[in-house]
Amino acid sequence: MKLNWGMIGGGEGSQIGPAHRLGAQADGNFNLAAAALDADPAKGRAYAQSLGVAADRAYGDWREMLAGETAREDRIDLVTVATPNATHYEITKAFLEAGFHVLCEKPMTMTVEQGEDIVRTARAAGKICAVNYCYSAYPMVRQMRAMVRAGEIGKVRLVVTNFSHGHHGDATDADNPRVRWRYDPAMAGVSGQFADCGIHALHMASFIVGDEVEKVSADFASTIASRVLEDDAMVNFRMAGGTVGRLWTSSVAIGRQHGFDIQIFGETGGMRWASEQPNQVYYTPVGGRTQIMEKGESGLCSDAARLSRVAIAHPEGFPLAVANIYVDLAAAIRGGSSDGLPLAEDGLRSMAAVYASVASAKADGAWTDARPPMFR
């Protein structure tokens, strides 16, 4: 039986909405049963119905949806929150408290305190609160994680990760509202590019290595003068087990489209993965040759095998990484393991790292505790 799924945000013309709809429905696990898709209630209702949502579940806003769904017997099993960042906390908290499982877009909250509140709320409610760190659901990222955790490259010494693009590099476009809000503290909070893209990379480091980030030393820059928040950041970090980390993120790296890559170096090997060629991992045992590992090759870990749909060298891309988050959510909702799912704790850790990095950058690069207070 398909699970009933609801969606908030991600209306017509939104960036991430189509990936969620495709991701939730691709494998037949979820049925779009309810939605409040748009800031404009009328548009949201109309678009939801055009997508096959029944008229009485095509809501004008999320409060209406919360009330409506809470009252139904056939209430949705999962709600996705894909609205602008500043609304995530309030919506996610309300649905968790009402007993719904939630998939929240990143960043989960705007502050560390909100993040801690969501973690406590999810725990109290006994509900899943997942965060859409969807890159972690690529089959070959799962493969790296399995190999690293199995010790195949030994103790991890070093993680180097970049998430840099150049799509905000045009100064003549900097006042375009779709771009400008990201660098305006009134709308984006304490961080621009690092909170937008950097946290994917930071999450990935912990996800693969299996250790938390303990402290950071950061350098932030606003390379376009009119910007208050950073459009380029370097964050050095240390993980619980002593792993050294280096994370560069930029939105003014003209010529990079979406340069998210991660390199993991351990005592007995190194690995590299890049989001623009996500179906391969380059693996080098110490003293040996670099090997190209392929999604779909024989002998991959069960997680990588399970989350791939087509044969070797038939590429699977970003929407199917999002779909894999939904595959894991469906399993978890049905009582299975949520081993690989990014959860509220991860969303909280990201926010703590963002605040610590901001503080470090202001304090002359001083090393700063990046752990959420509740996990110290």
122-141 residues in contact with its own copies (CB under 8 A) are none
Residue 71: φ, ψ to 5°: -80, -15
Question: What does the DSSP 8-state code read for residue 156?
Answer: E
Question: What does the DSSP 8-state code read for residue 58?
Answer: B
Diameter of the chain measured on Cα atoms? 64
Question: What does the DSSP 8-state code read for residue 100?
Answer: -
Q: Which of residues 136-175 bind its own copies (CB under 8 A)?
A: 153, 157-158, 160, 164-167, 169-171
Smallest separation, CB 364 to ligand NAD (Å): 30
For strand 3-9 and strand 30-36, is the pairing parallel, antiparallel, or unpaired? Answer: parallel
CB neighbours of 162 closer than 8 A, spacing ≥ 6? Answer: 201, 247, 248, 249, 259, 260, 261
Q: Which among 332, 295, 300, 338 has a CA at the least distance from the CA of 317?
A: 295
How many angstroms separate the CA atoms of 253 and 264, rounded?
A: 23
Q: Which among 327, 310, 332, 278 has a CA at the least distance from the CA of 139?
A: 278
Smallest separation, CB 162 to its own copies (Å): 8
Smallest separation, CB 215 to ligand NAD (Å): 26
Which stretch in 82-90, 139-147, 168-176, 291-299 sits in contact with ligand NAD by CB under 6 A? Answer: 82-90
365: left (phi over 0), alpha (psi -120 to 50) or beta: left
Q: Is the dihedral of CA 143, 145, 148, 149 positive or negative?
A: negative
Q: What tokens appear for 236 in the block?
A: 């050095």
Q: Which of residues 118-147 bind ligand NAD (CB under 6 A)?
A: 132, 134
Interface with ligand NAD: number of residues (CB under 6 A)? 23
Q: Is 213 in the site for its own copies (CB under 8 A)?
A: no
Among 6, 7, 11, 21, binds its own copies (CB under 8 A): 21
- Site map 35..74 versus ligand NAD, x via CB under 6 A: -xxxx---------------------xx------------
Smallest separation, CB 185 to ligand NAD (Å): 16
How many angstroms separate the CA atoms of 68 and 74, rounded?
A: 11
Among 31, 87, 111, 222, binds ligand NAD (CB under 6 A): 87
Among its own copies, ligand NAD, none, what does residue 62 contact (CB within 5–8 Å per kind)?
Answer: ligand NAD
Q: Is 328 in the site for ligand NAD (CB under 6 A)?
A: no
Q: Is 240 in the site for its own copies (CB under 8 A)?
A: no
Among ligand NAD, its own copies, none, what does residue 82 contact (CB within 5–8 Å per kind)?
Answer: ligand NAD
Strand partners, 221: 232
Q: Is 243 in the site for ligand NAD (CB under 6 A)?
A: no
Residue of closest CB approach to ligand NAD: 11
Q: Is 267 in the site for its own copies (CB under 8 A)?
A: yes
Nearer to ligand NAD, 157 or 167 (CB): 167
CB neighbours of 112 closer than 8 A, spacing ≥ 6? Answer: 348, 351, 352, 355, 372, 373
Which stretch in 6-14, 110-118, 121-129, 238-246 sits in contact with ligand NAD by CB under 6 A? Answer: 6-14
Which residues in this chain contact ligand NAD in the complex, by CB under 6 A? Answer: 8-11, 14-17, 36-39, 61-62, 82-85, 87, 105-106, 132, 134
